[in-house]
Structure 1
Amino acid sequence: MSEVRSSKLKFKGDKVKKKRKREDGEGSSKRRRGDEEDQDPETWVQPDQASEIRGPTFIFHPSDPSPICVNFDSTRNRIMLHPLDKDQTEETKDRPLVERIPTEVSQVWVTTRVAGSPTINLRTGVGEGKFLSCDQHGLVSADREARGPQEEWTPVVLEDGMVAFMNNYEKYLGVDEVAGGQLQLRGDSENVGFAERFFVKVQSQYKREAHEEEKKKEGKLTNPSMDEASTNKTFQAWGAGKSVVSGVDKKELKRARKEGRLAETLLDKRAKLKSDRFC
């Protein structure tokens, strides 16, 4: 058999680029993270973890025969499950379900959270801003302007990237069929099944914001290196920014740092130096 050659033109002196294969998923995750950083801030993306669910949020469900999204009808002041197929055009009819994006403001919820808390609040993006709530009987509504325990939800990102929402009573939000074949939201499911799995999309800028917060937390947890000159300047400098750096007390400073009393030791040294200066 004759050898198949590449049809790409090559010129004398061109360097041959070798392709490198990565055996782990680290390279692909880094490339994906880099692609997300280059995206438009308002691009709709799927969250990889619960902390990334924030800001404008699009929630939809792969119902059959038509997928639905969670809407809020500000005219009737109620939650509506809107068929997404009604919004399809010739351009989007062949688009995979996971690539759907909101087409109306009523399809967007605003996710807020208290810093450090795993729970979130979902507020309507239209009207007066009502919070999605669920009572002890599993009745889901959006008619409250203040948030409380019944307005708290804990998002759980599943292995396939879909999301389940657990309420304050440790029950899950789900799609339920009622009389007449209509669909409505309920919040009384004990387990996560097909009805309790939702696709969630957020805007790229808020996902990136979550990553930046994580980096800051990791930086706070690491032990800072002790720079004697800069540390002494912070705790001992006075007047025109004069800094007194000790050459004989390094052992004492290192021991104080290990024992967690570095600031106290430096302040004592500052007081002693001031008293020696004015005596």
Structure 2
Amino acid sequence: MVKALRFKGDKKVKKRKRTTDDAAAADSGAEDASGPSVKKPALDREDDNTTAKDDDEEGWVNADCLEDISGPLMFTITAPTPVGLSCDPTTGQTFTSALSAADNTLATAEPTGVHQVWVATKIHGTDKHSFKSAHGKYLSCDKVGVLSATREAIGAEEEFEVSLLPGGGRWALGTVRGGFVGVQETGGKAVVRGDGEKVGFGEEWVVRVQRRNKKKKKGGEKGRVKDRVSRKELEEMAGIKLDDDQVKVLRKARKEGGFHEALLDMRVKHGKHDKFAY
């Protein structure tokens, strides 16, 4: 095979495999010089596709099912402009602060800082969630309805029941004492409290989640959060074989509260307890 002449000092040219696009470009070389078509290399197009995909996963969208309540999120409300539930990293005090909204609506609201972002975690064995601030403290509501984020551990006051309101798109945030988190106007100032007696306009939140974390809805029952726990799951948590009455007791406790206590009581009665039990 005859090789091309090379001279001392010539730079070595890296060879690359001929692609289908290269062949097509070579075949179209007969085009006139006034407007030849230039095709992008395949690698460039792949980079463009990757960038477009990354762009699609960026940004914030509305949560529309309970499965979406997981990971970083914002609680937003109109009062009267888009604001988000925020937290002072030094004092743990909660308040509302303005969001970045392209058209001044909650549908385009995005955070202006980490003080407006909370990390949601579903509490095992319950239908409740905890919300951790960017500085590692949990959102809490005391007996008089004052919200704060100063505690590093989860207790009853750090548990919240998140409910999708009829019509979809709006959420209610219930506290352990049966109140609702909302925005009340006090002295011309919007104040966040957790002692609302019922869900009104001031207690209807739009929850915004990161697009990349949003759960895709599937047809039928798929993709929905399971409201009913199976016998097998209960038996795995209890560590014993359960009869029908025991299953009913645990399911009722899971729905109405006191699930951990009922589970522990059942384990103790059947000799399956230890210091690390539920």
> What is the TM-score with the length of structure 1 in the denominator?
0.55
Query: Contact between 1:51 and 1:118, CA under 8 Å: does it hold in 2?
Result: no
SS across alignment from 1:110: strand
Q: Which residue pairs with 1:146 in the alignment?
A: 153
For the residues of structure 2 that align with 1:155 and 1:100, how far apart are their CA atoms? 20
In structure 2, the residue matched to 1:196 is: 203
1:159-202 CA deviation, whole Å, 9 max, x = no partner?
A: 241111011112110111223x2221111112100110111111
Does 1:60 pair with 2:76? yes
Give the structure 2 partner of residue 82 of structure 1.
97
Q: Map Cα deviations across residues 54-108 of structure 1 (whole Å, 9 max, x no partner).
A: 10001111112x2321111213432121133xx56xxx2x353321111211111
2:10 paired residue number: none
Q: How does 1:1-279 map to 2 (within 5 A)?
A: 40-64=56-80, 66-84=81-99, 87=100, 92=102, 94=103, 96-115=105-124, 117-125=126-134, 127=135, 129-158=136-165, 159-179=167-187, 181-208=188-215
Match of 2:172, SS state, is strand
Change over 3 Å in CA distance of 1:166–1:122 after alignment to 2: same
What is the root-mean-square deviation in Å for CA atoms of aligned residues?
3.0
Deviation at 1:110, TM superposition (A): 0.6
Structure 1 stretches of at least 4 aligned residues deviating more than 2 Å after TM superposition: 37-43, 94-97, 114-117, 204-211, 214-218
Specify every segment of 5 or more residues in structure 1 that has no aligned partner in the other structure, as ranges.
Answer: 1-36, 222-279
Structure-2 change in CA distance of 1:217 and 1:59 (3 Å): closer
Task: Report deviation, 1:42.
Answer: 3.9
Structure 2 Cα separation of the partners of residues 216 and 79 of structure 1: 31
AA paired with 2:130? N
Map of 1:227 onto structure 2: none
User: What is the SS of the residue equivalent to 2:202?
Assistant: helix
Distance 1:97 1:144, change over 3 A: same
Tell me by how many angstroms 1:44 deviates.
1.4
CA deviations over 1:28-75 (Å, ceiling 9, x no partner):
xxxxxxxxx9974443121222232110001111112x2321111213
CA contact (8 A) 1:68 1:82 kept: yes
SS in 2 for 1:208: coil
Post-superposition offset of 1:209: 7.5
For these two proteins, the number of residue pairs brought into alignment is 173
Q: Distance between the aligned counterparts of 1:78 and 1:217, measured in 2? A: 32
TM-score, length-normalised on structure 2?
0.55
Q: 1:202 to 1:116 in 2, by over 3 A?
A: farther
Amino acid at match of 2:178: E
| Gap change, CA 1:75 and 1:137, over 3 Å in 2 | closer
* Structure 2 residue identity aligned to 1:168: V
SS of 1:161's equivalent? Answer: coil
2:43 paired residue number? none
- Structure 2 vs 1, CA of residues 186 and 95 (structure 1 numbering), >3 Å: closer, same or farther? closer
